[in-house]
A and B are shown apart, each in its own frame.
Chain A
């Protein structure tokens, strides 16, 4: 992994460009990260971040949606996009000679034409996506659970929106959001692998960005977390699906690594405390816990799936395990194991430019500078167990919120 070079520039209009250049890589990965997501939506805009992400693939003034798709394919690109509560990310990987063309394509796409006929057609696609997730009870448990846990804050409202909210989004509303949020200074272009930095800057400096200027810095209010228990019954659901939430730390917080390691010791799907308490004896089919750091706050989250008839005993065991961990802490051996497996995972993901892309972007956005794989691995191995114990001393799981989605009486019968 020698020969890596970090590139970073801020253009006149505020656009940030960052790269981790690897001359030995066989491919180039390109991404555009917009610092916007469902958390930044106004109530009447629910679902617009994700809808806009879809609509950007439907073409700009020069290209139709089919033109865009065919152009990606002609480059041999592996590409896609996703929207979260806080970020919208367009990404792809190609062979090095096609890297600049891929960047040009993304750059053009982000000034979408938003043609009414495209909006209507794509709305159907998003409504199908909402219907697809409606059929996944594990996803439903998290969607409904987050809404309750984050107590009406936009962070917990859900990324996709609802059938009603997406149906109400018209071209003006989508454009209004785009004008507010897709500003140059709210975007980061990221490159990894084998790319041409000078050509990249020349292109970006010459590219028209009508959305130059300062993005509205909407207040991202930290949600108030609710503790306790909630739930719902749903027809067609066969098992109990449990989503659990507890306070964690934010993505710029120095305790973030300790929180990840702690979560691993509790909720790793092969060897975490919950695995041995629930999955190994065959009481749950899944019992995983992780840490999800967000902007200004974070949460531990867990998922459990079990027979509806076993729900009470499963929840009792979860309570007992979390209480035991808070009381007894984590053994040195378990902490070291978490460090080692996390380090291997990071190293594996670092094998490819695509695997590096989001890590490079988020290290710059969250911590102000690009950290290489080895630096992050070193940080993992340096993070001491006492840092995990300090988090446990605050007894985060006392403030947990548990949401259960269960079969209705008919399905259960």
Chain B
């Protein structure tokens, strides 16, 4: 099964990797383009340049100005999305299958022939500053940013929103030079899922994304700091809690055992975290834990929000539950986790957007796309002994933690 999946997996002459999975019962197509461009490989003196480029790429392309470009996509009913993170800049789109031949050239234009005009630059910069400032009014987001900054020593700790002083200094010329050095096809992934016609795809790609030229820039290797605690003062009703500890990566033999164990921890409302933190103790409305991936490193992030007087207990219970995984899981817990992950997998195969995102992320992090069948078989092949053997040899968690909230509410774990 892995040999024949995905049914379309090619590297174009310019280096762009394209993977596609037909879902022939759908009239819709979803497409995700991931570029290895983010704050982690922003220029040293231009942190936020990727955030600028992510927006600027959409302000006109080919022969169309910003408005003309948006109108052309809308006239075809294209739903757009995208954004920028620490390691990837993404452009996504969904449209009706019958419009594919008209839509692909437009989407390719955004990376192949973006205008990057002086006239639109100040607006883009001002918006990037607005977006950065807007995080001030989202305590949960601020805590998330602070946690990543505390966890990574490498450039992965930079905020994807950039730094104010750098954004203010950045010139159109510098941003254009940056684009020329890293908005390129090499290392990028285009994933397509839905009602696509595979037979027509090669020619369509060649005339659109195949004509894309440009250089690429490597991402730095992730480096993690020694565990430590950070407290950020904020005038808020709740304390936001974030905790991070290393985990095994997607290409590690223990990945699926880890996924099952994390579903026992935080798969749903019957899982340990929800049960211990919310159901039995009423400490929070929201608590969650899951793996995050950067290239070459995976880590576990747990998040919770609670009022100040309950913060210390919340941190302690979350930390204890994560640590307790090493002692193993019960057969009934694992059974529920397995059913849940496998049902979710089937359901993720019903929606074109979810499939395209998964294909793109697989290629970015694993170098190849996994079929739903491959993931299902890997999960089904693991028994209680396998999962517990994996858990028993995992190191004790060493948390880097962040609390954001009223001064004096900082908690020691």
Please list the residues of chain A having a beta carbon within 8 angstroms of any beta carbon in chain B. 1, 24-27, 57, 65-66, 69-79, 93-95, 98, 120-129, 131-132, 134-138, 235-239, 241, 270-271, 276, 279-286, 305-307, 333, 336-341, 343-345, 347-348, 351-355, 411
Q: Which residue of A lies closest to B235 (CB)?
A: A236
Assess whether B365 is interfacial by the CB under 8 Å rule: no
Q: Which residue of A lies closest to B281 (CB)?
A: A121
A238 touches B133 (CB 8 A): yes
Q: A235-B235, A347-B96 are known contacts. Are A285 and B134 too (CB-CB below 8 A)? A: yes
Q: Which residue of A lies closest to B340 (CB)?
A: A76
A74 touches B339 (CB 8 A): yes
Determine the chain A residues whose CB is within 8 A of the CB of B138 once the complex forms: 136
Q: How far is the CB of A149 from chain B (nearest CB, A)?
A: 22
Q: Which residue of B lies closest to A405 (CB)?
A: B137
Assess whether B101 is interfacial by the CB under 8 Å rule: no
Size of the chain B interface, CB-CB below 8 angstroms: 78
A282 touches B124 (CB 8 A): yes
A73 touches B96 (CB 8 A): no
Q: How far is the CB of B150 from chain A (nearest CB, A)?
A: 21
Assess whether B386 is interfacial by the CB under 8 Å rule: no
Partner of B71 from A129, A271, A339 at Cβ < 8 Å: A271
Give Cα distance in the complex from A281 to B129, angstroms.
12
Assess whether B177 is interfacial by the CB under 8 Å rule: no
Q: How far is the CB of A271 from chain B (nearest CB, A)?
A: 4
Give Cα distance in the complex from A343 to B98, angstroms.
14
A-B pairs, 3 with minimum CB distance: A282-B126, A76-B343, A340-B77
B123 touches A281 (CB 8 A): yes
A125 touches B347 (CB 8 A): no
Give Cα distance in the complex from A67 to B73, angstroms.
49
Give Cα distance in the complex from A76 to B380, angstroms.
14
B75 touches A333 (CB 8 A): yes
Q: Which residues 165-181 of B sit at the A interface, judged by CB distance below 8 A?
A: none
B70 touches A25 (CB 8 A): no
Assess whether B366 is interfacial by the CB under 8 Å rule: no
Q: A270-B80, A340-B75, A341-B78 are known contacts. Are A128 and B285 too (CB-CB below 8 A)? A: yes
Which segment of B83-91, B105-113, B265-273, B317-325 sits at the interface? B265-273
Which segment of B25-33, B37-45, B224-232, B388-396 sits at the interface? B25-33
Assess whether B384 is interfacial by the CB under 8 Å rule: no
B134 touches A351 (CB 8 A): no
A26 touches B339 (CB 8 A): no
A70 touches B336 (CB 8 A): yes
A27 touches B346 (CB 8 A): yes
Q: Which residues 53-80 of B sit at the A interface, judged by CB distance below 8 A?
A: 59, 66-67, 70-71, 73-80
Q: How far is the CB of B379 from chain A (nearest CB, A)?
A: 12
Partner of A307 from B27, B130, B280, B284 at Cβ < 8 Å: B130
B285 touches A129 (CB 8 A): yes
Give Cα distance in the complex from A194 to B241, angstroms.
41
Partner of A344 from B94, B125, B349 at Cβ < 8 Å: B94
Determine the chain B residues whose CB is within 8 A of the CB of A135 once the complex forms: 139-140, 236-238, 305
